[in-house]
Amino acid sequence: MFSISVFLESFGPLFWAARYTLLISVLGIGLGLVIGTLVCAARLSPYAWLRRSAMLWVSFLRGVPLLVQLLVFYYTLPVIGLDVPAMVAAVVTVGICASAYISEIWRGAIAALPRGQAEAAIAIGMTPRDIWTRVILPQAFNLSLPALINELILLVKASSLVSVVGILEITRASQAQAATTFRPLEVYIAAACIYLAINLCLAVLGRYLEHRTAI
């Protein structure tokens, strides 16, 4: 039956592993923001070939399961002669996958801004660069904050998949713990509790930001 003491004891190693879950998710969303911004810029660019390749990028990354992307990327690296630690490969894959979703979040946020904003900026003679950096992007960022937090929640959950390539985050640590204690039920429920705690905190943050940015 369910043993409370095993359940409580498994929190120790899992908390330690939670740092890696958080690290992968936060670095992943950081990288995703950088690439996603570039992809979004490509989608809004005047050149058709850029727009088309950005669309292909988004469609591919959203159409292929993350687990498959992870393995493709993991096995491609040695072929092209790159020898990076599994951790780097995992963060890069998670970041690339997130970039597709983040570019769509950006696109939606930019489309949601009233056209009058950009037109007014043109009318008072701002340069295109100023229009983007001072008018459109800051507002789009505020608008997209709740969606970005949501994406981070998705990444925390998706990061459980990098356990497959051997990174000791919560899921991998709980597998090891379950193997040594022979109590998978308690250990995996403990892992679920940690994920739930992280995601509930993020959800509260998201709700706060949504409330704050609501006009």
Partner 1 sequence: MDWSILQQYGPGLLSGFGNTILCWFLGTIFSMALGLVIALVQRYGSRWVGRIIQVYIEIIRGTPFLVQLFVLYYGGPLVGLRLDALPAGLLGLTIYGSPYFAEIFRSGFRAVSVGQIEAARAIGMSEPSIVRRILLPLGLVSSLPALVNFSIILTKETVILSIITVPELMYQVQRMSTETFRYLEANLVLALFFWALVETISNVGRWLEARVTKHLIERT
Residue with Cβ nearer partner 1 (164 or 209):
164
Q: Which of 22, 118, 137, 164 binds partner 1 (CB under 8 A)?
A: 164
Torsional class of 38: left (φ above 0), alpha (ψ -120 to 50), beta (otherwise) = alpha
Choose which of 39, 163, 167, 206 interacts with partner 1 (CB under 8 A): 163
Task: Please count the residues of the chain.
Answer: 215
Task: Return d(Cα 136, Cα 118) in angstroms, integer.
Answer: 7
Its sign, for the CA torsion 44, 50, 55, 57, is: negative
Q: CB-wise, 42 or 198, nearer to partner 1?
A: 198
Give the separation between CA 139 and CA 51, rounded to whole angstroms.
23
Alpha-carbon span 59 to 64, nearest angstrom: 9
Nearer to partner 1, 45 or 59 (CB): 59
By the 8 A CB rule, do 95 and 28 touch?
yes
Task: Decide whether 102 or 156 has the Cβ nearer to partner 1.
Answer: 156
Q: Which of residues 24-63 bind partner 1 (CB under 8 A)?
A: 59-60, 62-63
Give the span between the Cα atoms of 101 and 82, in whole angstroms.
26
Find the part of the chain contacting partner 1 (CB under 8 A) among 32-40, 124-132, 139-147, 170-178: 170-178
Distance CA 171, CA 168 (A): 8
Pick from 22, 71, 86, 135 the residue near partner 1 by CB under 8 A. 71
7 is an interface residue for partner 1 by CB under 8 A = no
Residue 62 near residue 96, CB atoms below 8 Å: no
Among 8, 185, 208, 212, binds partner 1 (CB under 8 A): 185
Between 87 and 162, whose beta carbon lies closer to partner 1?
Answer: 162
Q: Name the residues that contact partner 1, by CB under 8 A.
A: 1-2, 59-60, 62-69, 71-72, 75-76, 79, 153, 156-161, 163-164, 170-171, 174-175, 178, 183-186, 188-189, 191-192, 195-196, 199-200, 203
